[in-house]
Structure 1
Amino acid sequence: MSAAPSSTYRLQLGPGCTFADVSELAEYLDLLGAGAVYASPVLQAAPGSTHGYDVADATRVSESLGGEEQRRLLAERLRKLGMGLVVDVVPNHMGVAKAEANAWWWDVLTRGRESLYAKYFDIDWGRGPVLIPVLGDDSAEDDLRVEGDRLVYFEHVFPIAPGTGEGSARDVHARQHYRLVSWRRASAELTYRRFFDINELAAVRVEDPEVFEAAHAELLRWVAAGEVTGLRIDHPDGLTEPGEYMRRLRAAAPDAWLVVEKILAPEEELPPSWPVDGTTGYEALREVCGLFIDSKGEAAVTALAAEAGVPVSVHEVEHGCKRAAANVMLLAEVRRIARLLRVENAEAAVAELLAAFPVYRSYLPEGDGHLQVALDAARRARPELAESITAIGEQMRAEPESELTQRVQQTSAMVMAKGVEDTAGYRLTRFAALNEVGGAFDRFGVGVEEFHAKWSARQAGWPRTMTTLSTHDTKRSEDVRARLAVLSEIPEEFAAAVRRWSARRALPEPTLNLLAWQTLVGAWPIDEERLGGYLAKAAKEAKLRTTWVDADAEFDEQVQQWVRDVLADTELRADVERLLERVRVPGWSNSLGQKLFQLAGPGVPDVYQGTELWDYSLVDPDNRRPVDFDARRNLLRRLDAGWLPDLDELGSAKLLVTARTLRLRRDRPELFESYRAMRAEGVAARHAVAFARSNDLVAVSTRLPLGLNASGGWGDTRLPLFDGTWTDVITGRAVDSRAPLLADLLSPYPVALLVRESNA
């Protein structure tokens, strides 16, 4: 069995965070209690990359991050501290934005099907030259020019095959193994599979053993040397054979901790045949955040949305968005599948089936039930296509390893991601705290019993899976969601505020208007650049009034003017801040509860960079901003000198909870080997949630703090404990009573982490 870290700390490497920078941070992260550094991709990315997911050369480490020497120095530094290194792996695609930076892609464009790397990429060679969608329009061929052995279009450079460079640029272009075409043709006509609808990321065929070896040799060399202790696999659903890939990777790295970025539906499980330690934890995110949402607020929240013209039929919106993703954004992929079929209306049948999947992907023969659900739903939605849809299902089941089956499964994940995560999530804006990667927009929170059942099952089935609250892909940070959760306790008050604000200054599109007010509350204080950037992205992702492909400049300017007007309106700002006074402190309570439960609960908790203090970031690139580690380092020193901070804007209380819990996990792992629900007793018992990780460790948090205060506080409510002497490791205070009063236990902080010292 692989050695899982006690916890991880996620760092976004790039120009502002190199290997040398991480080496300097290592002492702080060790002091914080992190068991491993969890880094974004570190192989050589496309020139100018800020994130590393566009790997252009899988055979060497990134030069911009410091190259091989700095990588080795970082590995040695972490080893001396007893910390692991988890690296993000991108097996599904490579960056081809600058063709000359990717030697494999360059050779394919140069030599076509004769290239040694022709099989490395998922190219439909039967449809002629590789289409490269970079031209402003098809008439832009007039802007091509020949420079030596290269064909140039503005900043884009492409190879000229040997012996084909004579004549005009148009003549030379016509002789190549590729065709430069209008970028508008990509969605419907592209001849290579992409990462979702991103033309600059070309899919790689790692199911081929030769390609696997070439793409992983350098990473596996680091694993064999003990310099990398864990691998995080990006987007496994894009792979042709995810299970086979996992088995091959496990065989090559038997001792590595291995987790996959697999987004699971609420009742979905990882395929049991995958030899991995778990997921990257989005399902835990949904459960932890949902625990602090008041389900009693759903009716009023839904009523406000309906009144405001925001759609509330989750299934209807999600299905429509998935169907649009299949018919528009991913039409090239749908047509490639349809060409494998001999049925009437193949293209329409494929699109409808893809839009009907209840999960990102089924894995045949495992997951056949998900395929059946999709088949039934597709036939109900389009009865005139029922015969063709049935034929697709029959063929997939008869040949589970066929190209048809593989491409349907790959593409259903793309349709789900683009349709739900990247479109419906920006249209179903009745309550933004729900709209998260791995979220369930139709489930208004998570009840206490469901929470305990899920976490007990995680301990039993996947004790080494990663858990998370914030990532580089989340739509809003954990602290934004924690503050928004408070609104579920006062939905009528929030609805009245939205009506006042909208009457004064409303955005012209209802779903964006409701999202904007929630964002303003959740991320306050926020400046014009951040709020304007977020709403510009949200509007284009929703694809209602403007899109990335066909922007409405007038509407886009209206959105930005709204931001300027709202932030300059002193009376409106004062009204917003009055509501903030209601939710700020309860939001901090929710934040600490979320953090404690994630860090103390089953699995391997990940802390996203900077979130050990309050962090009110929104979707990327906002959540990739530089982190002030000097401030965090100085605060941690003060905490270690005995300072117990107030629960205030500084966020030191969150740093205290984070450090004390992470250190305990690392230093006393035997305390975290089981899971048991604990029950408070008394008048306010419903406002306390607690669990034991062993007979000697109990975590407890306040739930629904506004309701608690409105009902008069904790009163006589107690938490029965096992016999012995207990200490709250967060405050350092002794807890003498066998059933302490929660009024005493949950003060000055709304959380406690209790350790029984009698057996220490």
Structure 2
Amino acid sequence: MPPAAGKPIPRATYRVQLNAAFGFDRTAEIADYMARLGVSHLYASPYMKARPGSTHGYDIVDHNALNPELGDDASFQGMVAALRDNGLGQILDFVPNHMGVGGADNGWWLDVLEWGADSPYSGYFDIEWDSDYRYLQGKLLVPVLGDQYGAVLASGGLELRFDKEVGSFAVWAYGSHKLPIRPQDYGTILGTDHPELERLGDLFAHLAYARPHQIRRAADHKADLAALAATRADVADAIAQRLTVFHGDPGEPDSWGHLHALIAGQNWRVAYFKVAADDINYRRFFNINELAGLRMDEPELFDVAHRLVLKLVEDGTLDGIRIDHIDGLIDPKGYCQRLTAATSKPFYLVVEKILARHERLREDWPIDGTTGYEFANLMGGLFVDPKGEAAFDRLYAGFIGRAEKFEDVVRLAKIRIMESEMASELNVLARKASRIARSNPATADFTANILHQALKETIARFPVYRTYVDGGPASDLDRRDIDWAISQARKAEQGPDGSVYDFLQRLLTADLVASPRSGYSHRQVTRFAMRFQQYSGPVMAKGLEDTAFYRYNRLVALNEVGGHPEHFGVSPAAFHRANQDRARNWAGNMLASTTHDTKRGEDTRARLYALSEMPDEWEHQIQTWSRLLRARRGDVEGTAPPDRNDEYLFYQLLVGAWPVELTGASADSLDPAAMTAFAERIVGAMTKSMREAKVHSTWAAPNEAYESAVTGFIHDALDVSRRNAFLESFLPFQAAVAKRGMVNGLSQTLLKLTSPGVPDIYQGCELWNLSLVDPDNRLPVDYAVRRRLLEEVEGALERGTVPSLLDRWTDGAVKLAVTRAALALRAEKPEPFASGDCLPLEATGEKAEHVVAFARKAGDDTVLVAVPRLVGGLGETPDWGNTAIPLPRGERWRNALTGETIAGGDAVTAATLFERFPVALLVREG
């Protein structure tokens, strides 16, 4: 929706990943740099208190405290002051869906472990206390063990400890995971050997008599116990002696019987981490056991969790909030409505949301847009040649030895997730569905097993991450996606009877209770539909992004968060339509090209896009490289690891991420240290890829033999200690692709900074970003280099000598110049970019398909943007022939990148426009 009046929509943002090494003080130090670069807002990663050692901040343990690892309150205020002194606002990445659990840091979670369903915080988490499993009735599964429970118990990995400061007992797993003991069981621990301990133990044992004040009474008894232990040595000694009763001898299981009996009576069940797949009874962030889902639709929790962030909005510290993982919430629209109504001050609000190709952002949400994943993929598609798709299908299938459709890869990957990592959640859904079915004679025979099959087949084919049924009639958009998934699931071989799918369709749309006297519970049906939505999203994320994207490697530049690898290329017309729609409806939408979640950096992808134009040459190269490397390793048959799909991915990673400082070097001049460092980056990315693909290895059970063989293959390929025929063949091809990738990189930089929306620069991406998947994309940024280059760039822009930076393009100054010029123009002429029209300019002539151009116009202020695409088809020295771009009305135009002046008229030739510099940014001056 269009931004509300008075709302502070950023001009441009700069994302910073805060961590212990780069906290509030370091961020304050770059405030002047960000301002000089030309952005209007810092876009900060989460900085509320997270688990110790967090490198990302998404494992929040306290929403109302700053992360002490980033600095204290004085440091935070110093950062806020530095931003204000430099004219910068601030956007915060906020995490409402989940909290970090495990360890000993989340007070709410520890209270739930201690008191179970009686904890005042138990309703804050999505916990299934009423399990169908007797051994989990009233218990919370805690899957933190690295081995079977019995083995960990017998080895001494579980230890009962006394906290003398507060007078409490807890079992500690590996000395790091705290599992509080029920106060009612303290008497069992304290025993009857000491009269004071016996007295207190009896009080703890009878806490039930204090209901509903048992928690407060227990705190009083704990304080008495702590005081006694602190002041009387005999009491402290007696407690220490009692703890020995619960210790055993490592390797002798029977000696741990007392501890086992104590553990068996707790509100938690500690277990091997792999048990989570079958028994987990709390909602997680995807399948991550250490991130527990929150019930943010509960008003009390909402008020508590948002106290600090809303205070920061009210006092002007924050101009906006980015909501992490909005689809994890049970009612995203309701959450956004509550959030925007919770403060008297309007603020900028965007949500992290991944849209399917046919899906539109819901216009009834009171938000300014998404965080821009869809834009990154839309823009990137401009540089992919659709004419190369058939050839890529053939060469990919030929190289890996099989042909497969992406939709089949996704379906099987989603089924794999539902049958393994997220099996427990599906079992719970099936049991809930069967309970609803049994409540009406017409559907009483639909068993949990039958519904489990139908649910699995439906989710495997679900075309969007989730729907948004919220208690009222399902929208037409939701019906479209539910009906499509159901219709496709009906085609599954050996599936359940069609009547089961009829019931499921009515259940998911809540049509079961659309009429009075339906025989079904309105609340149960509605809650089921909403919980289903919370499950379909994580399955899509884990199946698509974290499995299928690592199995289907046809052109991995397309395998990006929010991307559609099966869709080969985007036409300029489609790009323009999306821009115009965004200008009309979502002018505050973020525009991203790299984020902390991207699997490959923007310039890595820019290089890989170029491969789409040269399928024949690419096929020749990879076949040659494979023969050279496998021969070097004595693998004449070509059957040793890596398998052909992993090998094919490896070559793309090399081409895409090859360091700019090594580009153009000969094989015998490569620096060994630099090559070793690069090899380790590739090993890290390949290891993650193999484990995410779940074909030869997984995170839960790494295949060390296969991974070691792949690592050896990588090091052999990049070995410069002797003559390397592979590198001799690879380097000339890489250099040619890198040059095309450079032009693509400049083009997408300019498009992002001038398209309708709010452009975001991910930390450091003002220079070339050739990163791979995290943690490679979160490496430290050298701001000293960027400051020095920015001074040079500002001089070049003033003198009109930016084209000379092309001669030294590898240092990134040329990309920085485009960034600085475009951001300066957004500041100088805000209206065309903030609220102006976006007018497509259709090129004419023989190379028209190689140009993307549009104008941003508000009143008499007009800015023209033009970039080349599919540059491989233009040749080393582009011959534009009679290609021309129409000019809007104007007598004279100034190129903000080169300083040149162009006379007005009906059109300007591409040869004139791109003569000195590969992209153009014209400002109407008369």
TM-score, normalization by structure 1: 0.97
Partner SS, residue 152 of structure 1: strand
Question: Which of 637, 653, 657 is matched with 2:814 structurally?
Answer: 653
* Map of 1:52 onto structure 2: 57
Shift in Å, 1:321: 0.7
> Which residue of 405, 413, 417 corresponds with 1:325?
417
SS of residue matched to 1:731: coil
Residue 531 (structure 1) aligned to one of 664, 682, 690: 682
Give, in whole Å, the separation in 1 of the partners of 2:455 and 2:909: 60
User: Partner residue of 2:462?
Assistant: 357
Matched, 1:289 2:401: no
Further displaced range: 568-577 or 469-478: 568-577
- Tell me the residue number matched to 2:113: 109
Match of 2:652 in 1: 518
List per-residue Cα deviations over 1:2-60 (Å, max 9, x = no partner): 22100111111101211111111010000000110101101000011111000011121
CA shift, 1:383, in A, is 5.9
Report the Cα offset of residue 471 of structure 1: 0.4
Q: Does 1:389 align with 2:501?
A: yes
Q: CA deviation at 1:350?
A: 1.7
> In 2, Cα distance between the equivalents of 1:348 and 1:329?
17
Tell me the residue number matched to 1:418: 542
In the alignment of these two chains, the number of paired residues is 757
- Cα distance, 1:257 vs structure 2: 0.5
- Per the alignment, residue 668 of structure 1 pairs with 829
> Are residues 1:708 and 2:819 paired?
no
Q: Distance in 2 between matches of 1:413 and 1:536?
A: 26
1:171 Cα deviation from its structure 2 partner: 2.2
In 1, the alpha carbon distance for the partners of 2:731 and 2:288 equals 40
On the 8 A contact 2:102/2:178 being kept in 1, the answer is: no
Q: Alignment partner for residue 141 of structure 2, among 122, 125, 131?
A: 131
Q: CA deviation at 1:754?
A: 0.6
Which stretch of the first structure deviates more once superposed, 609-618 or 169-178? 169-178
Residues 561-710 of structure 1 mapped to structure 2, 5 A cutoff? 561-568=712-719, 570-642=724-796, 644=802, 645-647=804-806, 648-672=809-833, 673-694=836-857, 696-709=862-875
Q: CA deviation at 1:175?
A: 2.0
Q: Report if aligned partners of 2:102, 2:144 keep a CA contact under 8 Å in 1.
A: no
| 1:202 match: secondary structure | strand
Residue in 1 that maps onto 2:211: none
1:368 partner letter: R
Give the CA deviation at 1:270.
1.1
Structure 2 runs not aligned, ≥5 long: 132-136, 163-168, 190-245, 247-257, 435-445, 514-521, 631-640, 660-674
Preserved CA contact (<8 Å) 1:75 1:228 = no
**Does structure 1 residue 160 correspond to structure 2 residue 181?**
yes
Distance between the aligned counterparts of 2:830 and 2:358, measured in 1? 29
| Amino acid paired to 1:639 | V
One-letter identity of the residue aligned with 2:571: G
Asked if 2 retains the 8 angstrom alpha-carbon contact of 1:76 and 1:227, the reply is: no
- Whether the 8 Å CA contact 2:914–2:920 is kept in 1: the answer is yes
Secondary structure of the residue aligned to 1:381 is: coil
Q: Kindly tell me: are residues 346 and 589 of structure 1, through their superposed partners in 2, closer, same or farther at Cα, counting changes over 3 Å? A: same
1:138 is displaced (CA, Å) by 2.4
Counterpart of 2:153 in structure 1 is 141
Q: Is 475-484 or 301-310 further displaced after alignment? A: 301-310
Inter-partner Cα distance in structure 1 for 2:18 and 2:557 = 28
3-state DSSP of counterpart to 1:108: helix
- Equivalent position of 1:724 in the other structure: 891
Query: Partner of 1:750 in structure 2?
Result: 918
- Tell me, yes or no, if structure 1 residue 379 matches structure 2 residue 490: yes
In 2 relative to 1, CA 579–312 (structure 1 residues): closer, same or farther, beyond 3 Å? farther
Q: Which residue of 1 aligns with 2:39?
A: 34
CA contact (8 A) 1:509 1:545 kept: no
Q: Distance between the aligned counterparts of 1:485 and 1:573, measured in 2? A: 22
1:277 to partner: Cα distance:
0.3
DSSP 3-state at the match of 1:64: helix
Q: 1:263 is matched with which residue?
A: 354
3-state SS, counterpart of residue 606 of structure 1:
strand
1:141 Cα deviation after fit: 2.5
The more displaced of 526-535 and 617-626 is 526-535
Aligned pairs (5 A) from 1:194-205: 194-205=284-295
The Cα shift of 1:382 comes to 4.6
Rounded to whole Å, the distance in 2 between the matches of 1:360 and 1:575 is 43
SS at 1:384 equivalent: coil
Q: Tell me what 2:321 maps to.
A: 231
Higher alpha-carbon deviation: 699-708 or 60-69: 60-69
Question: Which moved further from structure 2: 161-170 or 698-707?
Answer: 161-170
Q: Does the CA-based 8 Å contact 1:310-1:511 persist in structure 2?
A: no
* Residue in structure 1 matching 2:430, options 327, 330, 338: 338
Query: What corresponds to 1:460 in structure 2?
Result: 584
Rounded to whole Å, the distance in 2 between the matches of 1:625 and 1:310 is 36
- The whole-number CA distance in structure 2 between the counterparts of 1:724 and 1:19 is 49
Tell me by how many angstroms 1:685 deviates.
1.8
Show the counterpart of 1:243. Answer: 333
Gap change, CA 1:5 and 1:463, over 3 Å in 2: same
The offset of 1:429, in angstroms, is: 0.3
Q: What does residue 204 of structure 2 align with?
A: none
Displacement of 1:531: 0.4
Q: Deviations over 1:199-248 (max 9, x none)?
A: 00000110101111111111111011110111111111111111111111
Q: Which amino acid aligns with 1:160?
A: I
SS in 2 for 1:188: helix
**Mapped partners of 2:844, 2:68: distance in 1:** 59
Mapped contact 2:45–2:92 kept (Cα < 8 A): yes
The structure with more radius of gyration: 2
- Superposition deviation, residue 743 in structure 1: 1.8
Distance across 1 between alignment mates of 2:89 and 2:8 = 10
CA contact (8 A) 1:46 1:97 kept: no
Structure 1 residue matching 2:43: 3-state secondary structure: strand
Paired-residue identity, %:
39
Q: 1:619 deviation in Å? A: 0.8
Query: How many Å apart are 1:375 and its aligned residue?
Result: 1.1
Task: Give TM-score, length-normalised by structure 2.
Answer: 0.80
Residue 545 (1) aligns with residue 696 (2): yes
**1:646 is aligned with what amino acid?**
L
1:120 equivalent in structure 2: 124
Residues 566-595 of structure 1, C-alpha deviation per residue, up to 9 Å, x if partnerless?
001622112111111221111111001111
Partner residue of 1:500 out of 607, 616, 624 = 624
Give the superposition deviation at 1:711. Answer: 9.4
In structure 1, C-alpha distance between the alignment counterparts of 2:486 and 2:94, rounded to whole Å = 33
CA distance in 1, matches of 2:148, 2:824: 58
| Secondary structure at 2:433 match in 1 | coil
Residues 434-482 of structure 1 show CA distances to partners (whole Å, capped at 9, x for unaligned) of 1111111111010111111111111112111111010010110110111
Instruction: Provide Cα deviations, 1:60-94, integer angstroms capped at 9, x if missing partner.
Output: 11111112222222222222322111100111100
1:713 is aligned with what amino acid? D
**2:593 maps to 1:432:** no
1:559 matched to which residue of 2? Answer: 710
2: CA distance, partners of 1:566 / 1:83: 47
Going from structure 1 to structure 2, the CA distance change for 1:382 and 1:234 (only over 3 Å counts) comes to farther
**Alignment correspondent of 2:517:** none
Letter in 2 for 1:392: L
Q: What's the CA shift for 1:301? A: 1.2
The one-character-per-residue Cα deviations of 1:146-168 (angstroms, maximum 9, x if unpaired) are 11112112132221121414253
Letter of the aligned partner of 2:480 in structure 1?
A: G
Q: Give the SS at the match of 2:338.
A: helix
CA RMSD of aligned residues (A): 1.5
Runs of 4+ that moved beyond 6 A: none
